[in-house]
């Protein structure tokens, strides 16, 4: 079985289908990020990041391209996306980093975000409601 975050394998890819991947094992964490960069890259009110072990991620089809940028934290973020349609797939170099951050919108089955950790809440859009029970950080957790 594949698809949901409670199963052993998640599948996903870009909007046009040129790049497909599988991620085995459960997510280590799920973040809902309200920073301006995540809002820009998702073209939405927030970004969803599903943190997984890099060793469990396997390309099934296609080859993403990398673009790197400086984050508000001062670190360099390696962003991987489809060269055809431009869909963002994950952040982090799976060949060098222990974990990567799969973009929630690229998953075939959307992640369950009820218990997600909300970060960069100091830049949250007005009108976005964070559940009362959610763990939250004004910026990035250390």
The CATH number that applies at residue 64 is 2.170.150.70
26 three-class SS: coil
pTM of the model: 0.85
Q: Is residue 37 part of a domain?
A: yes
- Tell me the pLDDT band of 122, cut-offs 50, 70 and 90: very high
**Domain of 102, in residue numbers:** 9-123
Q: Is residue 141 part of a domain?
A: no
> For residue 72, what are its two tokens?
């508000």
Percent of the chain with pLDDT over 70: 94
Which residues, other chains included, contact 38 with Cβ-Cβ below 8 Å and sequence gap of 6+?
46, 47, 49, 120
Q: Is residue 131 part of a domain?
A: no
The number of C-alpha atoms within 13 Å of 116 and in the hemisphere containing its C-beta is 22
For residue 67, what pLDDT is reported?
92
Q: Is residue 139 part of a domain?
A: no
For residue 7, what pLDDT is reported?
52
- Which helix (H) or strand (E) segment holds residue 39: the answer is helix 36-42
Neighbour tally for 89: CB within 10 Å: 25
Q: Is residue 86 part of a domain?
A: yes
For residue 66, what pLDDT is reported?
94
Q: Is 28 left (phi over 0), alpha (psi -120 to 50) or beta?
A: alpha
Q: Is residue 2 part of a domain?
A: no
| Mean of the per-residue pLDDT values of the chain | 88
pLDDT higher than threshold 60 for residue 86: yes
Q: Is residue 4 part of a domain?
A: no
- Tell me the pLDDT band of 93, cut-offs 50, 70 and 90: confident
| Sign, Cα dihedral of 69, 66, 50, 44 | positive
> For residue 26, what are its two tokens?
């459960």
Q: Is residue 90 part of a domain?
A: yes
For the chain, the domain total comes to 1
């Amino acid at each position: 079985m594949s698809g949901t975050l409670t199963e052993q394998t998640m599948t996903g890819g870009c909007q046009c289908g040129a790049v497909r991947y599988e991620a085995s094992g459960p997510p280590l964490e799920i973040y809902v990020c309200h920073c301006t960069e995540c809002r820009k890259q998702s073209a939405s009110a927030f970004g969803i990041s599903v943190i997984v072990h890099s060793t469990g991620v396997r390309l099934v089809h296609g080859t993403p391209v990398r673009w790197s940028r400086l984050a508000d934290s001062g670190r360099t973020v390696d962003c991987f996306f489809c060269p055809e349609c431009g869909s963002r797939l994950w952040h982090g170099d799976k060949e060098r980093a222990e974990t990567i951050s799969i973009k929630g919108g690229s998953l075939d089955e959307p992640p369950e975000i009820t218990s997600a950790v909300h970060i960069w809440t100091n830049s949250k859009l007005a009108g976005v409601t964070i559940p009362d029970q959610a763990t939250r950080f004004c910026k990035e957790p250390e």
